[in-house]
Structure 1
Amino acid sequence: MTSHLRAAPNQDRFTAETERFRRELLAHCYRMAGSAHDAEDLVQETYLRAWRSYAGFEGRASIRSWLYKIATNVCLTALEPRPIRVLPSGLTGSYDGPDRPPSPAAAGEVSWLEPLPDAWIVAPADDPAAVVVERESLRLALIASLQHLPSRQRAILLLRDVLAFSAAETAEILDTTTAAVKSGLQRARARLDELQLEPAELLEPIDPRARALLDGYIAAFERSDAGLLEHVLRADATLEATPFRDWQAGRVMCIQVLDAYVLGTPGDWRMIATTANGQPAAVVYHRDAGGTLRADGLVVLAPTATGVSRVIKFHDPALVPTFGFPAVLAQ
């Protein structure tokens, strides 16, 4: 009984000291794993391990760096046996013919990247400037590129360049030397430079121009009007969708595929605006043979001042409830 009475205040103190870091730890685990659901599990394991070792925490490091040490090592252990998560553009070059429906990967053949709801990371009371920085570090192009780094290099880059830990702090978190951290960071940065990222000038989701582009994309689908996409997509826009291996480059090819194989007839689609990975997005519903609008997945746009540069569609109905919307949409 005495032991129980001693544990209760510790639990309260543990919660008070650690809970405020949960959102940023979730973002960190997502950047490492490329999966929102995996990130949730990794954060849960992080807090479980932290609680178990809390009595031995002596304060030589800050509570934040101590939690990041646990979270990073939880991620490294979990990721070691797993294939990396990718988008179609991470598998092969763009498809340009002959004309045929996009080709899906076999079930279980590819581990696909998953989007992250902004609401999981950004609290309403967060500082707007900090929110912008957080969004930039969660954009899909960056997350996809990070997955191509060896996991320890990925961790070093995130700890140093995203979270701004010093080389010495990063070395302590990873139980390595500052020289190894500096070398790993140099290699990670060089590899990222080789990978194709989104244009640097992406618009914020709250920018009226970004919302206008999203509204235009939604209208094109809900009206089944491919011509509307001419005013939404940049000339160099790309289109990709999981679980399909094929992806298209160039506005002409993107519109051709959407018009031939996706748009259907007016009323087939319904979309509701949201945000994912710091980008404008929409949950997607498709009308089934019985006329019911059922969850179909999520589309994420990369908006610029000259139009949408990239469209990524995630064909996973389970994402719609994840983003807080119903699986079946009322008529």
Structure 2
Amino acid sequence: MNRTALILPVLFVALVAGLSSVFIVDERERVLVLQFGQVRQVREDPGLGFKIPLIQEVVRYDARILGLQTQPFEVTPLDDRRLVVDAFARWRIVDVVRFREAVGVEGINGAQGRMERIVTPAIREVLGSVPSGAVLSDDRTALMNRIRDLARRDAATLGVEVIDVRLTRTDLPEQNLAATFARMRAEREREAADEIARGEEAAQRVRASADRTVVELVSEARRQSEVIRGEADAERNVIYAEAFGRDPEFFAFTRSLTSYERALRGENSTMVMRPDSDFFAYLRSDQGLGAAGGAAPAPGAEDQLSGAPAPEAEDGPATPEQTGAVATPAPEAPALALNPQPLTE
């Protein structure tokens, strides 16, 4: 009975010692076996592990990717415009022994503070070397990659790998928002005024070019019309001269009839002349030009009444010798007063 009483405590102590010497390594963990604070064993593969009870201890670290959210802080970009930024970093432990030596007994919580003190200066250094427009733009991948590379270099001393750094906030300080918006508005208004001025200048050039083109086209059209009108007048005079040369008597007759038609229109006008005026020679005689005593209206009488120039032949005015007409002494110039004027009651 006494032997049984002694064996049971020994078995219990042996059982407790055996259980305390066995530990399990999870696949999400990295394990260090320490003896009096010194690393004796490193276990990174999942499975069972053994240690000396009461002498050695097991320290576990998370092997997964961890996150770090920095506190908001101010940075001053290259153009001295202050910005409030914060970032989110992803990191993991790659060297558990160096990590233990760097952070000691603080573990993951102590490493978070150390990582924030590494990431924040990297953000200040990178964002301080570029203007604020590059920080506020949508494409900031290059800047975040530079921040990641700087933080990765400094975090290597902790046995940590920085996987990625992302800027989650880039805002203006509250006290600078109104001034910044006013300056941005002034810049946009200045750019708009420049664009309007350039547009007005271009419009003036277009209008000046159009006006010059119109003047040139109108001038050319007028020149061509004057040329055509001159050619037509010359051709008309040639036709008149040829007609007069063929039959001067008939030509004088038709011109007189035309003069009568134009002068005797009922347009409320008055002509004062002697009854025996040469203007009515063809009305007083039915024998033509010879019977009228050569007193028919001259070929230019119609033009004198209507304002048209008298026709001339190509080689000058036709003479009685050229046309064969019988020249008779002209009667004494009649007293002709041709003064159209409106009738008044």
Question: When the two structures are superposed, what TM-score results if normalisation uses the length of structure 2?
Answer: 0.17
Larger radius of gyration: 2
Higher RCO, 1 vs 2 (CA within 8 Å, ≥6 residues apart): 1
